[in-house]
Chain A
Amino acid sequence: MNIWELLTTFDILLGIVLTAISLCAVVFLTMWSRSIIERIHARPQSSHREIQKEIINGNKS
């Protein structure tokens, strides 16, 4: 059996897709969170509103 033979049933296909999405989602959210942390700490003592504003502006640009 090889990996292509394994991908013949719907359960396996869906399971692999779900697993891959979950792993990618965790990594992506972690990297995103990390970038937010770095952006916030680039400015000391930022208030919540300033951070929100900065994140929104950052997402637009």
Chain B
Amino acid sequence: METNPERDPENPSEAEHPKIATELSRNLTLLQVTMMGVGMMIGAGVFLGVGNAVRIAGPGGVILTFALNAVIALFTAMSYAELSSAVPRAGGAYNFARIAFGKGTSFLAGWMEWFASSVAGSLYAVTFALYTVHYFTQLGIIQATGFKLVLVEKGVAILIASFFVYINYRGASETGTMGAIFTLGQTVTLAFIALVGIGTAISDPARLANFQPFLPNGWDKLLITMGFTYVAFEGFEVIAQAGDETIEPRRNLPKAMMYSIVIVMFTYVGVAFASIVGVKDVGQPAWIWIGNYGGKGFGEAISRLIPSYGSVLVTITVICASTSALNATIYSATRASYALGRDRMLPAVLSRLHPKRRTPYMALLSTGGLVIVVAAFLPTIDVASSASMMFLFLFFLVNLCVIRIRRQMADEMTYGFVMPLFPIPPIAAILIQAVLAVYLVHMSPIAWVVGPMWVLSGLIIYHLYSKHRAIRTEDEIVVIREEPIPSKGEYRILISVANPANAIALAMNCYRFCQAKGASTEVEVINMVNIPPLLPLSEASKYTQAGEEAITQAMLYLAPRYAFGSTIRYCRNFARCIISAAAERKADLLIMGWQGHRRQGFSLGSTVDPVLERATCNIAVFKDCRQHKYMNVLVPYAGGPNATFSLETASIMVDKDEGRVVVLHVASPGKPTQDIDAFLDETVPQLNASRSLFEPKYVIARDRFKILLEEAEQHDLVVIGATRDPVFRQRVMGSLPEELARNCKKPLIMVKAKHPIKSFIKRWM
């Protein structure tokens, strides 16, 4: 948790570059971003992957591998789509993690994104060089051998990487156009190969015998092939990076992610089918023949399918695929490092934009350097396996982010897309990707060495540099002033006060709870500063006066008798601030006031609704409770999980000498009634109150709401448990407690009891 309200003064780097003066240029169309995604997916990996997958999983296994991977990838793509539609900014997973988990996790996400995309770029540059040089060697244009040949290949790899660094420097539009041209070329070629395969199978059905045995090595081998080909679906990452540069990003980014998965899935399944049926009369089963060629199996199979020009076609396609993938990965890695620089996680120089072209040229330069160094000097294939591993980590993290943001911050988001069937897709993706990551070890143990080393270096950089310099974002909770209670006593109450007017009433009611809970009770008051929009956080201290007065009022009332603490915080969303403080302070009870106003779209209010829904402690919301004595307290009872806490609250609020608590159950005609006496006999002994204080009352009526409202008018306080329905269901179906709270003219307390298991899950989610 941050403790300093100032943004600028202690952040010299920001002072030097106070605000990014220009924005990235927004001119990428739906077609361009879709093609960038497709281009990144259909890299060289799939061509190498087909042969190897056939060897391990067999002829049917390779097709199943791509089909099943597409489903899993779509689940993660839906998470990316939902988050990108809500946060359409350069940075992708880095941005999502920043909002969901804070700056530490987000730095690691950005750091991994940068590395994974850069190394993938190196792999594509090297693949381009290998195929091009091999092709020219076959034509006799290049005659080098041995070490000279390696030097030529490295030189070509550096040249092509430099060329695409220049294309990216020219601007997003040029990058998108170039990517779209290459990707369209390769996709059309692959679709042609797939169609030839289908046509061949129709004209010569005997070739379908190549699919027997369908899965010669068993079903379990599917997991291995799915593990190492899954990264061939990673293109939605580059689409997420294009948030700042896409036209209508909230609509186009999610669409582009979905469309790219569909295009790629049919392409992969089609070419895998074509490669199987392409082989005939080779003296052994087709899958063994293709598998024996390993990474070259696809090319050899297509050469058999189209003998006259299949080899040339494959070479051209691989060259197109590796260049479009190289283009997309350089773009993606550049945006990842740009985002890190923009938020000062890495030096601000990375966020500099070219004044004319609006491209992050310094981030591009550093990314280009990384791509070239890895391509020229490191064993790219091994390092690329680590990149695959890191992409899996990233996807894992993004799926966690989508769940956490929906649970905790959905009110603050403006979504352009919400995934159907939530939370099944992200949970399924997390579980299946964990299995695939484990199986990836079988293919490349080195991935488990290089990957953690990169993460470790990121952790060191974060703790030495980024942690102290990162700019706070508007989504963060900032502690402006704080006087905490040092140790946790037996019972801790957190009171949320908005202004001096409600502070005394809440303190007075809190005092009753303190008396009931004993002398070791602690009270902490929280006030949220309301800073006008567009003002920087450094102005927050000018708006703390009302909060300080409110805290003083509460302190005068409570501090003489009980341990007292206070905190003033700023957050764009008050509810999140209160929920976070309650969890952080391990509060047993949260007390807050409600004025009775309601915003459209909410049951009780934009602050009270989320707090009741998500806070992990007992909650008591007070409406108009300003009296010193309550003689007649009404507790509507329906046997829910909040009944015991309602009764306890009523017993604390009522005058114990002369007052009474009426426990009312309104049953519909013909329906069984609750046994109030049994409930009271069981509960009252735990409450330190006399049984004679409570009176059961039964009413049978069709209109329960009308009876409750009439009964409420005859009492001077109503204590009612909050509904158990999710908020959106309340909005659709309606909810009796909230309806009563809105219409009741008498003082009212709405309570919600902590549910141990749900609270535990919420804390972690």
Show the binding face of A for B, using Cβ within 8 Å.
Answer: 1-3, 6, 9, 11-12, 15, 18-19, 22-23, 25-27, 29-30, 32-34, 36-37, 40-41, 45-53, 55-57
Contacts and interface: CB of A to CB of B under 8 A. Distances in A.
B254 A37 contact: yes
A3 B204 CA distance: 11
Nearest to B252: A37
A22 B65 CA distance: 10
Contacts of B211: 6, 12
10 contacts: A11-B214, A12-B214, A19-B64, A26-B71, A36-B418, A37-B417, A49-B410, A49-B728, A51-B418, A52-B728
A56 B728 contact: yes
B530 to A, nearest CB: 20
B67 interface: yes
Contact of A33 (B60, B67, B81, B410): B81
Contacts of A22: 64, 67-68, 70-71
A50 B606 CA distance: 13
B269 A30 contact: no
Contacts of A11: 60, 213-215
A29 B72 CA distance: 12
Nearest to B73: A26
Interface in B691-710: none
A57 B208 contact: no
Given A22-B68, A27-B262, A32 B420 contact: yes
A43 to B, nearest CB: 11
Contacts of A2: 205, 208
A4 to B, nearest CB: 10
A53 B727 CA distance: 10
Nearest to A59: B420
Contact of A49 (B63, B208, B416, B601): B601
Nearest to B248: A41
B1 interface: no
B214 A33 contact: no
A27 B411 CA distance: 30
Would you list the 7 A-B pairs with minimal beta carbon distance, nearest first? A22-B67, A48-B410, A11-B214, A30-B258, A52-B728, A19-B67, A15-B60
Nearest to A51: B418
A26 B262 contact: yes
Nearest to B207: A1
Contact of B415 (A25, A46, A53): A46
Contacts of A45: 414
Contact of A15 (B215, B254, B419): B215
Contacts of B266: 23
Given A3-B208, A37-B417, 13 more contacts: A2-B205, A9-B212, A12-B211, A15-B215, A22-B68, A23-B266, A36-B417, A37-B255, A40-B418, A47-B601, A48-B410, A49-B410, A55-B418
Given A18-B67, A23-B269, A30 B205 contact: no
Nearest to B250: A41
Q: Which of B60, B265, B602 has the most CB of A within 10 A?
A: B60
Interface in B240-265: 250-251, 254-255, 258-259, 261-262, 265
A51 B416 CA distance: 9
B418 A6 contact: no
B731 interface: yes
B375 interface: no
Contact of B212 (A6, A32, A37, A57): A6
A34 B258 contact: yes
B417 A30 contact: no
Contacts of A47: 411, 414, 601
B206 interface: yes
A16 B417 CA distance: 32
A36 B417 CA distance: 7
Nearest to A6: B208
B63 A15 contact: yes
B732 interface: yes
Given A47-B601, A49-B601, A3 B205 contact: yes
A51 B415 contact: yes
A53 B60 CA distance: 43
Interface string B57-78: 0001001100110110010001
A50 B415 CA distance: 10
B420 A48 contact: no
A45 to B, nearest CB: 6
Nearest to B265: A26
Contact of B251 (A18, A25, A37): A37
B413 interface: yes
A16 B214 CA distance: 10
Contacts of B689: none
Contacts of A48: 406, 410-411, 413, 415, 418
Contacts of B519: none
Interface string B206-249: 10110111110000000000000000000000000000000000
Contact of A46 (B259, B406, B414): B414
